[in-house]
């Protein structure tokens, strides 16, 4: 019955939304103020697309009843990833993981290589893994690199991945491994729940909408994705992903090298040495070899065979040139030896006659300079990933958030995923605004990186439903740009009297109000009573973070600018309220308040139209209400035990005993 009502509200929302936005584009634009009218209707169109994608997500809500018994004899490695978290926090999680009931091995993956953590792990009988020497002076790829390194030194059939603060329940494997009885299931994701969040959740950490209807809806489309922790993965799927990725990257590298060979050959032909018939012959041979290699690559031939044949032909051409040049050099030396000396100097050193010097300076010397460009082509033609610590990288390294990209690639290869809606691990959420912003920025940056590098809409292997489910998550992080317009529009009207619509007529209200009401009803019905308001607040209030994520990710992908990756601190950061963190929002809030006051003053003076003023003042009140959460976030002093729900702070973090 829930699905029926959800789908009914989805249809109503989409119909009313299209009706409103189509009318806005066709009938209501104030072209005299196009500079605000067009951006506003574009922002509304963005929001409609966002609602449509959300509606599609919850259209296929999958409410699972639970997994069957675990496959007999399933071997599991529990990975606890850490970099610089406090040792007691890591060991609390590790010891809880050690007591998981299903047979397994527990490994601490210490990317900080701390000797004291190694000693604690040995003391408690836990596995300890850090980077091998192969990673020295190589790209580290943050958490993805840490996990990829550990995959090469462990051998469990399944992997339970936990962040350093995520304390698992003893039954976590018993409740999830049974899904892997289906041979095509590669991932089982469980919710991330935080034990240090008060009921009012001022930092918006719990994300009940995402770890609920959204993931359940994506599960219905076989698009529930890996969220970095509290997930079980099949090693076979990851290793297949790594091997396929290795082949793809190698093929791309070879294609780039062969394409570059043409410019290298052209450059060599323009050099003075190319006048030599021997050099011209060598370059012809190299060009023919690379051209044939590109044809063979298009034909799907073995990469190693292609590179071997190209290198062999080029080597033979170079050797022929070298042999001819050595013969010419030997003739030059014999000519020098046969020269008639003019006299013996005072020091007793023979002096070459002037006419001999003139004859030698006019001679064309070695043509071997042309080999340099050819050698660069040879060096690039390799099936070895010399720029990486290990050739096979199972978890994706294209983003600072490896989870989404990895899951998307697995889905593209035909694997299935499962979202198991049961809290089976308890973590620590940020306890201050600065840490929360660092975390949200990294999530958003990673998501935008994936969108720019491997846009799901054009990825082979994904079904259209899966493509849209991944794109829906990426699309939400563009909301920062729309938020700027939503804040600017009422300010412009109340301060300047410029209305972005032709009029606030009955036609406007009979389209706008039903759409907004049904839109909110959709969240209520799909969420089945869960609180969604906090998430809606932060989707608008954090607009500077979302804009920064988009711009920095674009600069990183397109221009190679570093992101400045930072691990989210697990402890509250000391210091007083950090108002500077929300300076843009403060400026916007002040402008909103000032505009409301000015607008009401203009109304009292009879200088503005009553309906337009009242509507925009109401809009300002809504925007200020949205922004108000940031005041609470700045003043938030962290989690206090007396605010813990009845179940307590997960038995005081499971009482580690370290």
- The stretch 235-257 carries a mean pLDDT of 88
Fold held by 76-243+389-455: Spore Coat Polysaccharide Biosynthesis Protein SpsA; Chain A (3.90.550)
Torsion of CA 381, 382, 383, 389, to 10 degrees: -130
Strands 350-352 and 167-168: unpaired
Q: How far apart are CA 401 and CA 141, in angstroms?
A: 10
**In this predicted model, what pLDDT tens digit does every residue of 475-518 receive, in sequence order?**
999 999 999 999 999 999 999 999 999 888 889 999 999 999 99
Q: How far apart are CA 41 and CA 27, in angstroms?
A: 11
| pLDDT score at 331 | 67
Report the range of poorest mean pLDDT among 144-148, 368-372, 459-463, 523-527. Answer: 368-372
* Strands annotated E in 293-374: 341-344, 350-352
Does the pLDDT of residue 446 top 70, yes or no?
yes
Q: What angle do CA 609, 610, 611 make, to 5 degrees?
A: 100
| 641 vs 201: which has the higher pLDDT | 201
Does the pLDDT of residue 647 top 50, yes or no?
no
Q: How far apart are the first and last CA of the chain?
A: 50
545 band by pLDDT with thresholds 50, 70 and 90: very high
Q: How far apart are CA 235 and CA 174, in angstroms?
A: 18
**In this predicted model, what pLDDT tens digit does every residue of 511-531 receive, in sequence order?**
999 999 999 999 889 888 888
Assess contact for 104 and 79: CB atoms under 8 A: no
- The stretch 39-55 carries a mean pLDDT of 97
Among 451, 479, 628, which Cα is nearest to 546's? 479
Phi, psi of 182, rounded to the nearest 5 degrees: -80, 120
Give the relative orientation of helices 371-380 and 277-298 as an angle to the nearest 10 degrees.
Answer: 20
Assess contact for 82 and 166: CB atoms under 8 A: no
254 band by pLDDT with thresholds 50, 70 and 90: confident
Q: How far apart are CA 161 and CA 183, in angstroms?
A: 20
- The stretch 342-350 carries a mean pLDDT of 52
**In this predicted model, what pLDDT tens digit does every residue of 407-441 receive, in sequence order?**
999 999 999 999 999 999 999 999 999 999 999 99
Does the pLDDT of residue 217 top 90, yes or no?
yes
Half-sphere exposure of residue 636: CA atoms within 13 angstroms, side-chain side: 27
Q: What percent of the chain has pLDDT above 70?
A: 84
| pLDDT score at 574 | 61
Instruction: Tell me how far CA of residue 114 lies from CA of 122, 172, 253, 262, 628, in angstroms.
Output: 13, 28, 36, 49, 42
| pLDDT score at 640 | 77
**Which residues in 578-616 are b (16+ Cβ under 10 Å) and which e?**
eeebbeebbebbebbeebbebbeebbeeeebbeebbebb
Contacts of 193 (CB under 8 A, 6+ apart): 206, 211, 423, 425, 426, 427
Does the pLDDT of residue 108 top 90, yes or no?
yes
Phi, psi of 518, rounded to the nearest 5 degrees: -65, -35
In 10 A of CB 382, how many CB atoms?
16
* H or E element at residue 285: helix 277-298
| pLDDT score at 370 | 56
| pLDDT score at 462 | 97
Compute the chain's Rg from CA coordinates.
Answer: 33
* Strands annotated E in 199-340: 231-234
On average, the pLDDT of the chain sits at 87
| pLDDT score at 362 | 44
Helices marked H in 32-73 — which ranges?
Answer: 34-59
Does the pLDDT of residue 306 top 90, yes or no?
no
Phi, psi of 390, rounded to the nearest 5 degrees: -145, 145
Helices marked H in 339-478 — which ranges?
Answer: 354-361, 371-380, 402-412, 433-453, 464-476
**In this predicted model, what pLDDT tens digit does every residue of 163-187 receive, in sequence order?**
999 999 999 999 999 999 999 999 9
Phi, psi of 189, rounded to the nearest 5 degrees: -105, 135
Does the pLDDT of residue 114 top 80, yes or no?
yes
In 10 A of CB 618, how many CB atoms?
12
Does the pLDDT of residue 364 top 50, yes or no?
no
Please state the domain extents for the chain: 76-243+389-455, 244-327+363-380
Q: Give the distance, in angstroms, between the CA of residue 385 and the centroid of all CA atoms in the same chain.
A: 22
| pLDDT score at 571 | 59
Q: How far apart are CA 578 and CA 139, in angstroms?
A: 34
Give the relative orientation of helices 235-270 and 303-338 as an angle to the nearest 10 degrees.
Answer: 30
| 576 vs 581: which has the higher pLDDT | 581
For the whole prediction, is pTM greater than 0.75? yes
| pLDDT score at 568 | 59
């Amino acid at each position: 019955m829930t699905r029926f009502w959800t789908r009914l509200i989805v249809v109503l929302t989409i119909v009313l939304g299209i009706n409103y936005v189509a009318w806005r584009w066709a009938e209501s634009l104030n072209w005299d103020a196009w500079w605000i009218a067009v951006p506003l209707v574009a922002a509304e169109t963005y929001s409609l697309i966002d609602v449509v994608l959300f509606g599609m997500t919850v259209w296929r809500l999958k409410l699972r009843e639970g997994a069957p018994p675990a496959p007999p004899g399933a071997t599991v490695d529990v990975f606890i990833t850490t970099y610089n978290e406090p040792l007691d926090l890591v060991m609390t999680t590790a010891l809880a993981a050690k007591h998981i009931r299903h047979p397994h091995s527990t490994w601490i993956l210490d990317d900080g290589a701390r000797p004291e953590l190694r000693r604690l792990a040995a003391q408690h009988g836990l596995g300890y893994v850090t980077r091998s020497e192969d990673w020295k002076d190589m790209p580290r790829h943050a958490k993805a690199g840490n996990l990829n390194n550990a995959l090469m030194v462990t051998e469990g059939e399944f992997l339970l991945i936990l962040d350093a603060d995520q304390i698992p329940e003893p039954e976590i494997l018993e409740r999830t491994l049974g899904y892997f009885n289906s041979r095509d299931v590669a991932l089982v994701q469980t919710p991330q729940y935080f034990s240090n969040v008060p009921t009012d959740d001022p930092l918006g950490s719990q994300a009940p909408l995402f770890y609920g209807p959204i993931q359940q809806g994506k599960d219905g489309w076989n698009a529930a994705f890996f969220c970095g922790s509290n997930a079980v993965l099949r090693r076979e799927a990851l290793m297949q992903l790594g091997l396929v990725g290795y082949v793809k990257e190698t093929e791309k590298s070879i294609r780039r090298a062969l394409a570059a060979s043409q410019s290298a050959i052209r450059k060599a032909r323009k050099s003075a040495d190319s006048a030599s018939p021997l050099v011209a012959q060598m370059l012809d041979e190299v060009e023919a070899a690379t051209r044939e290699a590109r044809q063979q690559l298009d034909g799907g031939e073995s990469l190693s065979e292609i590179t071997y044949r190209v290198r062999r032909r080029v080597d033979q051409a170079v050797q022929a040139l070298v042999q001819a040049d050595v013969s010419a050099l030997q003739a030059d030396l014999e000519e020098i030896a046969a020269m008639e000396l003019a006299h013996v100097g005072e020091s007793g050193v023979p002096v070459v006659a002037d006419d001999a010097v003139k004859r030698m300076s006019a001679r064309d010397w070695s043509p071997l300079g042309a080999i340099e460009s050819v050698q660069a082509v040879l060096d690039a033609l390799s099936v070895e990933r010399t720029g990486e610590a290990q050739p096979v990288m199972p978890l994706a390294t294209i983003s600072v958030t490896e989870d989404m990209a990895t899951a998307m690639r697995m889905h593209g290869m035909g694997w299935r995923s499962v979202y198991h809606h049961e809290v089976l691990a308890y973590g620590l959420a940020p306890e201050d605004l600065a840490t929360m912003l660092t975390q949200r920025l990294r999530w958003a940056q990673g998501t935008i990186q994936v969108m720019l590098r491997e846009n799901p809409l054009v990825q082979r292997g994904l079904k259209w439903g899966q493509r849209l489910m991944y794109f829906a998550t990426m699309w939400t992080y563009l909301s920062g740009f729309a938020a700027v317009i939503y804040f600017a529009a009422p300010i412009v009207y109340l301060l300047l009297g410029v209305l972005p619509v032709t009029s606030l007529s009955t036609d406007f209200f009979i389209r706008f109000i039903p759409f907004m009401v049904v839109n909110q009803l959709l969240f209520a019905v799909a969420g089945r009573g869960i609180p969604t308001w906090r998430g809606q607040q932060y989707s608008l209030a954090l607009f500077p973070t979302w804009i920064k994520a988009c711009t920095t990710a674009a600069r990183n992908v397109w221009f190679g600018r570093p992101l400045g990756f930072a691990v989210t601190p697990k402890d509250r950061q000391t210091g007083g309220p950090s108002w500077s963190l929300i300076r843009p929002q403060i400026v916007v809030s002040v402008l909103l308040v000032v505009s409301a006051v000015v607008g009401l003053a203009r109304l009292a003076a009879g200088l503005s139209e009553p309906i337009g003023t009242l509507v925009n003042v109401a809009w300002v009140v809504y925007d200020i209400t949205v922004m108000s959460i940031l005041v609470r976030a700045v003043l938030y002093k962290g989690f206090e035990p007396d605010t813990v729900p009845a179940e307590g702070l997960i038995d005081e973090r499971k009482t580690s005993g370290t």
